[in-house]
Chains A and B, each alone.
Chain A
């Protein structure tokens, strides 16, 4: 059931029709342990975005302008 909802959300996502909240739902799903095998390839995409978002939030620019690696 959950996978069906996620697949529908993902279709909306590719059409750029999802809300920020729906995109959070997708991100949380792909962080979880129970990703549908058919959707597995997209796990890396959400992991990549999360990683980049984390880098931006913690990292070198926005707040501290640190140049540490």
Chain B
């Protein structure tokens, strides 16, 4: 079960160390509540929920920590290809940053859908949401990124000489 929890945590956090820490927290919490075990209907369901909540907290904290702005390479080349290549990297960097700044639920839903290809129903089961909530979070997450891309595109056109 520990492996399953790790896979789940990793899927949400995208970071090995953080996922291991999250599972460690959950296991410690479960052990601390061992006197309650007989009352639990399903140990696995409890652990999955606890892992989800732990990951959500971690994502929330990350969001509150300002992400270091990495400046793109300043290139004055007239060669179009490297410039375009650099812009590509810059936008990908910004998309990644935008993803990290999404509220936890939106971020998890977008990840589970876009990177893992889960159905709306599966995501609802994993995150304990209704299908409607899954779609709302996905809608908001995707549109935050769309807005960024459109803004960047306009900015890109304006600054190109």
Please name all residues of chain B whose beta carbon is closer than 8 Å to the beta carbon of A28 when the two chains form the complex. Answer: none
Q: Report B99-115 CB contacts with A as 1/0, cut-off 8 Å.
A: 00000000000010111
CB pair A44 B19 closer than 8 Å: no
Overall SS of chain A's interface: helix
- Inter-chain contacts of A47 with B (CB < 8 A): 92
B40 shortest CB reach to chain A, Å: 27
Residues in chain A near residue B92, CB distance under 8 A: 44, 47-48, 51
B96 touches A48 (CB 8 A): yes
| Residue-wise interface mask of A (24-60) relative to B, using a CB-CB cutoff of 8 A (1 in contact, 0 not) | 1000000000000000011011011101110010001
A contact set with B: CB distance below 8 Å: 13-17, 20, 23-24, 41-42, 44-45, 47-49, 51-53, 56, 60-62, 65, 67
Beyond A14-B143, A44-B92, A44-B95, whether A49 also contacts B114 by CB under 8 A is yes
Q: Is the CB of A56 within 8 A of B119?
A: no
B positions within 8 Å CB-CB of A? 6-7, 10-11, 14, 16, 19, 88, 91-92, 95-96, 111, 113-117, 119, 135-136, 138-139, 142-143, 145-146, 149-150, 152-153
Given the known interface contacts A61-B16, A67-B16, the answer about A45 and B117 at a Cβ–Cβ threshold of 8 Å is no
Report the Cα distance A23→B138, complex, angstroms: 13
Min CB–CB distance A17 → chain B (angstroms) = 8
- A-B CB contact pairs (8 Å), 30 listed: A14-B142, A14-B146, A15-B139, A16-B142, A17-B135, A20-B117, A23-B114, A41-B149, A41-B150, A41-B152, A41-B153, A42-B149, A44-B95, A45-B146, A47-B92, A48-B92, A48-B95, A49-B115, A52-B14, A52-B111, A53-B114, A56-B116, A60-B10, A60-B16, A61-B7, A61-B10, A61-B11, A61-B19, A62-B11, A65-B16
Interface contacts beyond A16-B136, A56-B115: sample of 6 additional A-B pairs, CB < 8 Å, sorted by A: A14-B139, A42-B146, A45-B146, A51-B92, A52-B14, A53-B116
